Amino acid sequence: MSESHFTVQYGDDIAGAAKQHARPEKSKPFAYGTAGFRMNADLLDSVTFTVGILAALRSRKLQGKTIGVMITASHNPARDNGVKIVDPYGDMLEQSWEKHATELANTPTGEIKQAYERLAREVFKSENREEAHVIIARDTRPSGKGLVKALTDALEAMGAKYIDYGVLTTPILHYLTRATNTQNDSHPYGEISEEGYYKKLAAGWKTAMQYKKPEGSLTVDCANGVGADALKKFLKYMPAEDDESGGIKINVVNGRTDDPSVLNEKAGADYVKTGQRAPESFDGKPFERWCSYDGDADRIIYYFTETGNVFRMLDGDRIATLAASFIGNIVEKAGLADKIQIAVVQTAYANGASTKYIEERLKLKVECTPTGVKHLHHVASRYDIGVYFEANGHGTVLFSQNALRQIRKADPQSPAQLEALTTLQALTEFINQTVGDALSDMLLVEVILAHQSGDGEHSIAKWFTTYTDLPNRLLRVEVADKNSFTTVPDTAERKLQTPEGMQGKLDELVAKYTSGRCFVRASGTENAVRVYGEAASKHEVDNLLQSVEVMIERGEAANKVAQSS
Ligand code: 16G
Ligand code: MG
């Protein structure tokens, strides 16, 4: 730590303000995890206060750029809440700052001022009198309002300027953060308002759909969360349902945001994905398109039933393959294939069949990263076009400056090339460049399906039959200490380092199964480990996962004996 002796500005009132948001004495250590702090809302007041301190500090460190703070616990039950920081271009807080967030959150209330000053010295290196700017939004949880108060009390004590945007989806807050910070650039990201976001998405949609009419209707399960409010507002900017160019009928279900107790209850992307089942209120006729958002609308899962009531789900892997194949195709049609490199970024949870399809059929590069949007986003941003999705439905498509330039300056040589370029340009407009976004991803899927419809077969059924998933299962195993499960660096969580010897045993087990694959990692959000497995048949995968569970439980039992003797 630097021992510089410059005067640390601001924060004089921080000690007094902190007392109003005291850290509970006996609380467990808090950690800024995969997606910020998330826990029972009753424990979050002091944590959110410290996030306010850090957000102001981060803004000053970045010459007064605007930092976003989102208060949400996504798909968790209504009693939980969470808080996370958004960096100026709309991506997640830079990883090296996560430890600062954790440290401040764990500082006893009486020592906050000293901790702030120590941290300011460490990160600023010299005196800093920048103005700090922060914008705030929250989801529909009842605890959100009180947490915003904790946050703004800290911002006021830090002398930061802030705007509280009230209830918004997570991706809209990310959008606003980037729009605010790029307003004076040659290509501003968009108007700095919630309406600006809806207008940008609707304009892109209209351009992409100018010659198309989607087949049938789409029904959206909004998990009784903030996505419902956003979607209803957004629909006012869309072409009329019966408009021949781009008109679409969108029904909203599970859109009750007036009753917090129903948030994420038997509904939403997580409910559908983890249970591989339809949400409450589902009454889809065969081949009708449905999708589910999660509680803060940054995840999406599609599904439909086939005749005979067979439930078919299209998860993040399917959206990634659909998007990569469509975008690859129009990039080629637009004559840009040799100027724009496309890659797909997945995690180890991606079904092996999707990876094989992308590599062998689409002939695109696949990268695998650890779990968590920030990791995928980071890698995807290295490519001209980076398609990234987690199987659970988090994801988006990123376009680099080079890709945008190539698309802008391309000179179409035929009507087909013009159409491909126009569609590509429209995608760059409405696909959220900051983070996965259920609303924008939904438009992406709908545009693609509309472009692929028309030969008599239902476009969603055709999408489903592109490849066949390998049978797979995900298990959650409770362990005494999930931190005793660590993975080898740079293996994207696919190999265990500890407990010692466990990976060897796992490899031996997996080798016994046809097309077997299995990995174990500690959850970043719960005190448990997750076991994911695939094999050629359902019977084999069930058998494999059962053996792995027994192996982990034996390890735990042996550990217990060793500790008590
Ligand atoms: C968080 C992550 C999500 C990840 C999940 C894994 C964000 C915005 N969210 O919800 O991407 O898939 O954690 O949870 O990054 P796990 O570590 O408990 O398996
Ligand atoms: Mg979410």
For 248-267, how does the pLDDT look when each residue is reduced to its tens digit (9 = 90+)? 999 999 999 999 999 999 99
Ligand 2 centroid–CA 9 distance in Å is 36
Residues 282 and 144 grouped into a single domain: no
- Answer whether residue 485 shows pLDDT above 50: yes
d(CA 63, CA 512) in angstroms, rounded, equals 57
d(CA 243, CA 211) in angstroms, rounded, equals 11
Q: Residue whose CA is closest, atom 19 of ligand 1?
A: 523
Residues 463 and 502 grouped into a single domain: no
Residues 411 and 464 grouped into a single domain: yes
Ligand 2 centroid–CA 299 distance in Å is 6
Ligand 1 environment, Cβ below 6 A = 34-35, 371-373, 390, 392, 394, 523-526, 530
| Contact criterion met (CB below 8 Å) for 520 and 562 | no
Residues 500 and 515 grouped into a single domain: yes
What are the CA-CA distances from residue 147 to residues 45, 71, 112, 140, 328 (Å)?
A: 6, 8, 18, 12, 44
- Report the CATH number at residue 253: 3.40.120.10
Question: Is residue 545 one of the residues assigned to a domain?
Answer: yes
Residues 487 and 445 grouped into a single domain: no
Measured from the CA of 84, which atom of ligand 1 is nearest? 8
Residues 141 and 197 grouped into a single domain: no
Ligand 2 centroid–CA 293 distance in Å is 8
pTM for the whole structure:
0.96
Ligand number, closest to the Cα atom of 474: 1
Question: Is residue 3 one of the residues assigned to a domain?
Answer: no
Number of structural domains (the chain) is 3
Residues 203 and 140 grouped into a single domain: no
Mutate to test the pocket of ligand 1, among 86, 270, 371, 483 (most ligand atoms within 8 A of CB): 371
Q: Which of 46, 74, 325, 440 is catalytic?
A: 74
Residues having C-beta closer than 5 Å to ion ligand 2: 74, 294, 296, 298
Residues 48 and 192 grouped into a single domain: no
Ligand 2 centroid–CA 229 distance in Å is 15
Ligand number, closest to the Cα atom of 295: 2
Active site residue 193: no
Report pLDDT digits (tens) over 420-463. Answer: 999 999 999 999 999 999 999 999 999 999 999 887 789 999 99
Report pLDDT digits (tens) over 117-138. Answer: 999 999 998 999 999 999 999 9
Q: Which residue has the tokens 């039950």?
A: 77
Query: Hey, is 482 helix, strand or coil?
Result: helix
Residues 460 and 476 grouped into a single domain: no
Question: Is residue 498 one of the residues assigned to a domain?
Answer: yes
Contacts of 12 (CB under 8 A, 6+ apart): none
Structural domain including 390 reads: 185-469
User: Which of 210-219, 246-255, 384-393 has the weakest average pLDDT?
Assistant: 210-219
- Binding residue ranges for substrate: 390-392, 521-525, 530
Q: Residue whose CA is closest, atom 2 of ligand 1?
A: 372
Mutate to test the pocket of ligand 1, among 91, 294, 377, 394 (most ligand atoms within 8 A of CB): 394
Higher pLDDT, 73 or 457: 73
Measured from the CA of 373, which atom of ligand 1 is nearest? 15
Ligand number, closest to the Cα atom of 74: 2
Residues 517 and 456 grouped into a single domain: no
Q: Which of 82, 469, 57 is nearest to 273 (CA)?
A: 469
Residues 159 and 194 grouped into a single domain: no
State mean pLDDT over 150-156.
98
Ligand 1 centroid–CA 392 distance in Å is 9
Report pLDDT digits (tens) over 341-350. Answer: 999 999 999 9
